[in-house]
Amino acid sequence: MRPNFSTQVQYQTTQNWQDLTAHGLLIAVWQFADACGAFELWGQVKYRMKKVDYSALDKLKTLWLSIIAGCDHTVEINDKLGGHEKALAHLCGLKRFPDQSQINRLLQKTEEEQVEQWRSAHHQLLARFSRAHRQDLWLTLNDGSRLLVADIDQRALAVNGKKFELAAPGYFGRKRARRGYQLTALFLGGAISEVVDEYLDPGDTPMGRRLPELLDRLVWLCGQLNLHPSQVLVRGDAQLGTPAMIVNVEQHGFHYLFKGLSSQRAKKLTQQADDIFWRVKPGSEGQQRWMCDLGWIKHLDQSKEGRGKSITARTLAQVRTERVKTPRPGAHRSRLQKSLVKVKHDYYLTDLSPAQMPIQEVLHIYDDRATIERYFYDEQYSLGAQQVRTRHFQGEALFQLIVSTTNNLLRWMQHQIFQQTTLEEIGLKRLIHRAMQIPARITQQGNQWVVEFPHQHYLIKKLEKEWVALSPSDSTRPRQPDQSPSNQVHLPTVGGVGRRYWSH
């Protein structure tokens, strides 16, 4: 029996779609990147490919735009940036955007040469526009001094099948017996939230493998921003908490705060402690934690790779409780369970004195590594890097670098173009999947483009009151400058409610 529809609807196709786009604010990102000189730098990525309809730069731009448009995989490019986005493509200098098949071919043709060329462009943008020189965004220590915080961490990318180039077995969390890759990142944490560098490696690669390259890059960035390495604090988890790794950090002149690697060593240090244990910040799930400052202790590396290396570091032992659910004897695992409380031991290594970092502040500072964890979350669920885009290893390495560059550009745009507006403080997930999905009408008037947004959209209502480009009193309302005037990118605008004008 067929359903009886009470509302009669007639479906038709139309050609009157030439001036509409589903991603109106994507134009602001495009012009911001153009004003930053990003396209000029990306044009230096050279491919040995014959140009038919699109250059390699056109395809790189499309791949970059697809990330901001919310594409979770390359196959979605045809849906979100296909032939129906003619107005947006025309404004970007294209007749239409390339199909996803051409983007896949570009990734398959990518070699290490192209990856390093993009990495160079990424670093040049970072040197020009990084907010890392702003000391008001740094970590404030107990004695009033400030440090720029740099986090090093690694996330796993698991794959299915054996056709992914250089994929190897490794640790992938709950995805056991899988193959894949490891992505090691150097990230400026806190309010800065910028990616300094990233490396993609086979799944069995430890984090310490890339530590020398990342530390060298951090020294380079300090030179670009006229900072001394002693103004930087490097943080990392237990993978970096060995004397051999910390010696490398000390040789570069950085401060450090790492979690110790060996749980057996932690238990021995706790048993040797004769000082008072202080109750400190609880865990994320309310676990009780106590900590004791053991002072400056010499640590000798016993591993095969770092045997003989030693450090003298301020050592803090920690005791924490953790609830573990175990099956009740004689019962099925899915039935009644009882909760046991287990005591676990950790220790932390740092070169900061008690005057700079009291024992009560150690875990606060260490747990702030959550900013790089948030970036890894944004990579997967906001910037479309949850799935491996290609089976070609260098193509995937290039895509991951494009994602890191996109993160930086969006962060800089939020603090410059959308300064003191709702869009400055929202996360990347909401920025991409909400703000960038606002439709608009694009028309050309002489040498200018006019972008009209729907007045009733709730974000547009807010931006009309806050964003200079949408303010009716655009010509008279003063713009509050950023504290880094040398990094400002001013875009030509003319007033008009619900409109944004760009020079052609």
Residues 236-295 pLDDT 10s: 999 999 999 999 999 999 999 999 988 888 888 888 777 778 888 887 777 788 899 999
Centre a 10 Å sphere on the Cβ of residue 284 and count the other Cβ atoms it contains.
Answer: 8
Identify the DSSP state of 454. Answer: -
d(CA 411, CA 424): 8
Residue 143's pLDDT is 94
Residue 469's pLDDT is 82
What residues does 493 pair with on adjacent strands?
none
With H, G, I as helix, E, B as strand and everything else as coil, classify residue 438. Answer: coil
Which residue's entry shows tokens 């609830």?
Answer: 323
Residue 235's pLDDT is 96
Report phi then psi at 483, rounded to 5.
Answer: -75, 0
Which residue's entry shows tokens 């400055």?
Answer: 424
What residues does 502 pair with on adjacent strands?
449
Which residue's entry shows tokens 């002072």?
Answer: 295
d(CA 419, CA 468): 9
Tokens, residue 425: 């403080």
Q: Which amino acid is at 491?
A: L
Residue 497's pLDDT is 32
d(CA 183, CA 298): 32
Query: Do residues 342 and 321 touch, judged by C-beta distance below 8 A?
Result: yes
User: Which residues have C-beta within 8 Å of that of residue 195, sequence separation ≥ 6?
Assistant: 185, 186, 187, 188, 375, 404, 405, 407, 408
Which residue's entry shows tokens 């490696």?
Answer: 201
Query: Do residues 90 and 81 touch, judged by C-beta distance below 8 A?
Result: no
Pairing outcome for strands 499-503 and 310-327: unpaired
From the DSSP assignment, how many helices (H) and strands (E) are in the chain? 16, 15
Residue 339's pLDDT is 60
Residue 481's pLDDT is 39
Residues 431-467 pLDDT 10s: 999 999 999 999 888 888 888 999 889 999 899 888 8
Query: Do residues 194 and 378 touch, judged by C-beta distance below 8 A?
Result: no
Query: Do residues 186 and 220 touch, judged by C-beta distance below 8 A?
Result: no
User: Which residues have C-beta within 8 Å of that of residue 445, sequence separation ≥ 6?
Assistant: none
Residue 320's pLDDT is 86
Residue 491's pLDDT is 36
Query: Do residues 493 and 475 touch, judged by C-beta distance below 8 A?
Result: no
Residue 490's pLDDT is 36
Residue 474's pLDDT is 43
Name the H helices within 258-385: 263-272, 362-367, 370-381
Q: Is the Cα torsion angle 361, 367, 372, 377 positive or negative in sign?
A: negative
Angstrom distances, CA of residue 306 to CA of 124, 246, 310, 314, 462 = 34, 11, 9, 20, 57
Residue 453, CB-side half-sphere exposure with 13 Å CA sphere: 29
Residue 343's pLDDT is 83
Query: Do residues 210 and 199 touch, judged by C-beta distance below 8 A?
Result: yes
Tokens, residue 226: 């006229």
Residue 502's pLDDT is 36
Give the start-to-end residue ranges of the domains of the chain: 20-112+396-503, 258-328+336-360
Tokens, residue 417: 């173009």
Tokens, residue 61: 């731009």
Query: Do residues 235 and 246 touch, judged by C-beta distance below 8 A?
Result: no
- Which residue, 411, 352, 373, is CA-closest to 147? 352
pLDDT per 10-residue tile (average), the chain, 504 residues: 77 80 93 95 91 90 96 93 90 91 95 97 97 96 96 94 90 80 95 96 93 97 96 95 94 96 87 80 80 92 78 92 65 55 88 95 93 94 93 97 97 94 93 94 85 90 87 45 39 35 35
